[in-house]
Structure 1
Amino acid sequence: MLLAILVTVFALVVSSALIPNLSLFVLRFVLCNVGWLVQRRTRSRRDAIISQARTEEREFISECAKSPTQTHTVDEDWEKVDSSTSCLGTTGSDKTREDEDWDGIIGFFHPFCNAGGGGERVLWEAVCATQKRWPKAICAIYTGDNDVSKAAMLQRVETRFNIQLHAPTVVLLYLTTRKYVLSSMYPYMTLLGQSLGSLVVAYDAFNLVVPDIFIDTMGYAFSIAFCKLLFPGIATGAYVHYPTISTDMLESLDDDSGVKGVNSGAGKGWKGYLKRTYWLAFARLYGWVGGQVDVVMCNSSWTSAHIRTIWGPQRSRQPFRDPTVVFPPTAVSELESTIKVDSESEKTRQPVILYIAQFRPEKNHPLLLRSFARFLHERKKSPSSASQPQPKLILIGSVRHSSPDETHIYNLRLLAHELRIRDHTTFLCDASWPTVLSHLSTASIGANAMWSEHFGICVVEYQAAGLVSVVHDSGGPREDIVIDLGDGATGFRATTEDEFAAAFEAALALPMEEKVAMRLRARKSALRFTQEEFSRKWIAQLEKLVNMRTR
């Protein structure tokens, strides 16, 4: 009952974004008192979490002392970071940090932290950077993956992303209400449904422990506004991968080409009118919500531009008004050191098109499958094709089990069969990092077919591995990644099936010398997206939040 009342009250609060004359004073007062009660009720659990973390830390140190030769690699990395990157997040000053021993709790709101996608890489790299900067701080992850223990989770993080975390200061807090943010719960008005559903999940999270800093790393901005109303003193941050609604989405309603996402051309008729009205109202509400966040980080120039447009007018009173672009971390250094790019390695490359993306509808795998089928069809017309190795398409991605993802990949397999490319197409679900690395080292082309991809971590991985990228001409890949930095093209961009098919042919037909040159230019371009660069920028933003707590 209390939870239903809270959601109703919050709905009234956020409606002030649509009804400016509605006074918020009483409602803020009520929610603030509810927050006080939640803090009081969960104080003992907070103390227990801190005590357990400190106990595990002592046990870890004790084990290391007993077996110094078997100290985990992550501990060695800790020493390297403490000594060599103590200036992370500063502007070059050598001043001593007063907050270096800060030992509060940072809550990371990421209900699907075991999904294994690019967003999860950002989460775990952020946790890793945070641990190294504030070794005594506790990183609490609010997750709905109740069937995964901490040990199994950290092992998966190491296997999937090659990220080694310091276990004692990582705490998994298990949510029981994650179902309320599933799109399947809301067949109509999905954006609003999931956003209000995130309030239920956030309330569940705060009843597990109230953190000192609350950061949403998955895109549930409503949870942050809810946090600020319940706990005004908590510093909040958002790492925005993709705006919940954007001007691109609104423009797609009038698109007749059918290439601008799943809602392309949906603005016609009375249903289209209602949808447009609903989206415009939601955009205004979303803008108000974004105005409550203390520190905003965006993963690309594209995302930042949309956040400035929608959130900007509501952030005039925030001390850190403008969003900061913090490019997602990519294993550029590892890929560079592991995979060679030269005329000799070119001989080992195979005519393989690789697509690394979660198996979800928005990644637009059907466009890639149809483009590949068209490419093969056109290739057969060439007299020389019979004597050349047959191109193959390999799709690698994570699948959220017991979710629509499993149905989606089943439908993709059926489509490959219908297009008669099943024998030339391979699906790899939840592949380990070594497996991904192996394919990156032998494939020739890296593809991305998503319209308005917010960034495109996989595209950076392609570049760092020396693949020739063929990506959708929109979003982050167009604005930040596959660009000419002044010394030549770093890949190809396309929109339609014909354009993708032609780009595949052009990429494979490049003379060896030009192909190697493009691969090297792409690798050089990828240096802008290293893990070290992400850590530096992440810490700079997180320091703002820590300073808000230590003042």
Structure 2
Amino acid sequence: MAIVSLFLLLLLPACVSALLGMVIGLVNTLILGIVIFAIVATAALVGRLVLRVLLSEQRKGCVAFFHPNATGGGGGERVLWCAIKAMQEEFPSVELVLYVDGASERKEYCASARERFNIDVQASRLKVVDVEGCHLLQPELYPSFTLVGQAWASVQVAYNALWELNPEVFVDTSGWAFMYPLARLAGCRVACYTHYPTISTDMLTRVYNRESLYNNSAQIASSLPKSLAKLMYYYAFALAYGLAGSFAQVVMVNSSWTNDHIAALWWRLKPPLTVYPPCDTTTLQKLPLDRKLKRLYLVSVAQFRPEKNHEMQLVAFAHARANAAHFSHAMGEALNVAQLISVGSCRNQADRDRVAKLQHTARRLGIEDRVQFCVNIPYAELQTLLGGAVGGLHTMVDEHFGISVVEYMAAGVIPIAHNSGGPRQDIVGGEHRSELLPTPPTVPHMHRVPSPDTRVGYLCTSMEEYAAAIVEVLCMDQSARLEIADVARRKAAHFSDENFARGFLSALATILPSSPGQTGSNVLQSKLS
């Protein structure tokens, strides 16, 4: 008993000391938190006051879109112009501004939207502001620490934009999240439409697993110290990216895949709103499904950027043609006469050099006479090409959405897409990986087509899977192709321009400029009703 009493006597001071330590630790932590919050709040207040002195007076009733590369031919630019058109139609009293890189006349920008995307925007109701320093956003300027370099450049460019014109609502459709704190401090209400996270959990995983890809060179992937250093860099950047994203009041994303990543990275209580990007399904659905097939060809629609992986398409197409001798005369003839038409836009000289390299690859593979490259063609010409193609190729890993895949489906072209990102989760999805035939010549026949109720296209990963899908689509009989194309076209209608406009305006209405006594949301509800 005496021993127990002695033990308790010794234990009591230790417990009291530990308890006091915990209390003091909690108090110190609370004090530290208050100090940090006070410093941040003071810095924000000072920053806002300084910006109000430096920047021009805020333009009330003005909504500005930030998209420097407004004349580009990609899906991001189509979102921009559809959003501007929707705003012009539903909110005629709102002043619309577009921040761009270049001093072209606004009529030229609107003409580009009409020519490339078949979108009519009223030039008289759009103010175009040329922003200095947009060239600083080019990744080529930052061979090392590209993410940080571009992030800092985006803040500089955003400041230049706000210095030229400080709007009431700042809408970013280009994905530069590090601008949002600056825009909020300048007094703007901030909305964003994010196509692709600047950094994703997939990127972190690849560096952790030391996988080599376009954003992780083989030199780094093969070195443990370099991989660890890059992983620390990526995690630090991801934290800063998440903080910057929290400054946006309205966050829209273009797909389930992007939603998952933004929800995981950005410091927000409310989940992002998924608003599928606009696809010209109405026009493309007018194309006949029953093709005359005067010439047999596949089409590929994608900007000539490294992540689009055009080389995989060339290799898979060459591999499919190489096995033509193993099939019947009719099937072998189909493979021999088939062509691949690659359609895309070039943003700069680097993209044009990439096209030249792809042409060299086609010559090396012996398919140069069966491959055609169409660069920066008008929308009418693209529509004509889609109207005659039997299959459409898409090979980008982790494509955020995949507008081109929807365009294939709407036009009656059977998509052959990568088994990841938007194509898997939102578009072709539903089937995990399509049941492709084994690599020839072990295939007994080529007309085994699953029920159209469960297939709208093909999802592939490896070159062999792509080659097998190409063989199946090119050799498919007309009735089987029509069944799949019909189901695909009906699914594509979900991604229409009209559905995008409805979702975009509904999300943006809560922060739009409004007339006295009426909120933007009230205005939209009255119009939609």
TM-score (norm 2): 0.83
- Structure 2 counterpart of 1:125: 82
Distance 1:20 1:180, change over 3 A: farther
Aligned counterpart, 1:277? 232
Residue matched to 1:348:
293
Matched, 1:491 2:457: yes
Q: Which runs of 5+ in 1 are unaligned?
A: 1-15, 47-102
Asked if structure 2 preserves the Cα contact closer than 8 Å seen for 1:472 and 1:478, the reply is yes
Whether the 8 Å contact between 1:38 and 1:206 is mirrored in structure 2 is no
Q: Which residue of 1 aligns with 2:93?
A: 136
Judging changes above 3 Å, is the alpha-carbon distance between structure 1 residues 269 and 349 closer, same or farther for their aligned structure 2 residues?
Answer: farther
Confirm whether residue 392 of structure 1 aligns to residue 345 of structure 2. Answer: no
Is residue 285 of structure 2 the alignment partner of residue 336 of structure 1? yes
State the Cα distance separating 1:350 from its structure 2 match: 3.9
Equivalent AA in structure 1 for residue 285 of structure 2: E
2:495 is matched with 529
Match of 1:454 in 2: 400
Q: Does 1:370 align with 2:325?
A: no
Secondary structure of 1:207 counterpart: helix
Q: Scaled by the length of structure 1, what TM-score is found?
A: 0.80
Tell me, yes or no, if structure 1 residue 229 matches structure 2 residue 185: yes
Computing the radius of gyration from Cα coordinates, the structure with the larger value is: 2
What is the aligned residue count? 461
Deviations 1:478-525 (A, max 9, x none): 100013499220000111111111111112232322211000010011
Give the one of 192, 195, 208 matched to 1:241.
195
Q: Within the alignment, does 1:162 sit opposite 2:162 as a pair? A: no
Q: How far apart in 1 are the matches of 2:462 and 2:209?
A: 14
> Is the CA contact 2:297–2:390 (under 8 Å) kept in the aligned structure 1?
yes
What amino acid maps onto 1:307 in structure 2? Answer: I
Matches within 5 A, 1:37-48: 37-39=53-55, 41=56
Residue range with higher mean Cα deviation, 503-512 or 386-395: 386-395
Q: Name 1:263's counterpart in structure 2.
A: 216
The answer to whether the Cα contact below 8 Å between 2:424 and 2:430 also exists between their aligned partners in 1 is no
Corresponding residue for residue 91 of structure 1: none
**Corresponding residue of 1:322:** 271
Displacement of 1:347 in angstroms is 3.2
- 1:293 maps to 248
Aligned-pair distance for 1:150?
A: 1.2
Shift of 1:26: 2.9
The answer to whether residue 430 in structure 2 is matched with residue 430 in structure 1 is: no
Q: Does residue 305 of structure 2 align to residue 360 of structure 1?
A: yes
| 2:207 is equivalent to residue 253 of structure 1 | yes
Deviates more, 1:20-29 or 1:192-201: 20-29
Query: Taking structure 1 as reference, are residues 287 and 257 closer, same or farther at Cα in structure 2, changes over 3 Å only?
Result: closer
User: Which consecutive residues of structure 2, in runs of 5 or more, have no partner in the other structure?
Assistant: 1-31, 432-451, 520-529
Instruction: Say whether the 8 Å CA contact 1:137–1:169 is kept in structure 2.
Output: no
Spell out, residue by residue over 1:49-80, the C-alpha distance to the aligned partner (whole angstroms, 9 max, x if none).
Answer: xxxxxxxxxxxxxxxxxxxxxxxxxxxxxxxx
Hey, what's the Cα distance between the residues in 2 that align with 1:141 and 1:122? 13
Are the aligned partners of 1:351 and 1:392 in contact in 2 as well (CA < 8 Å)? yes
For 2:424 and 2:489, how far apart are their aligned partners in 1? 16
Alpha carbons of 1:410 and 1:34: their partners in 2 closer, same or farther (altered >3 Å)?
Answer: farther
Q: Distance in 2 between matches of 1:450 and 1:531?
A: 24
Maintained 8 Å contact 2:338/2:474: no
Maintained 8 Å contact 1:352/1:445:
yes
Per-residue CA deviation, residues 21-72 of structure 1 (Å, 9 max, x unaligned), is 7821332122101221234x456xx6xxxxxxxxxxxxxxxxxxxxxxxxxx
Rounded Cα–Cα distance in structure 2 between residues aligned with 1:29 and 1:348:
66
**1:514 aligned residue:** 480
Indicate if the aligned counterparts of 2:169 and 2:513 stay in contact, CA closer than 8 A: no
| Offset from partner CA, 1:129-175 (integer Å, 9 cap, x none) | 011111121211100033x3211111111011010011121111001
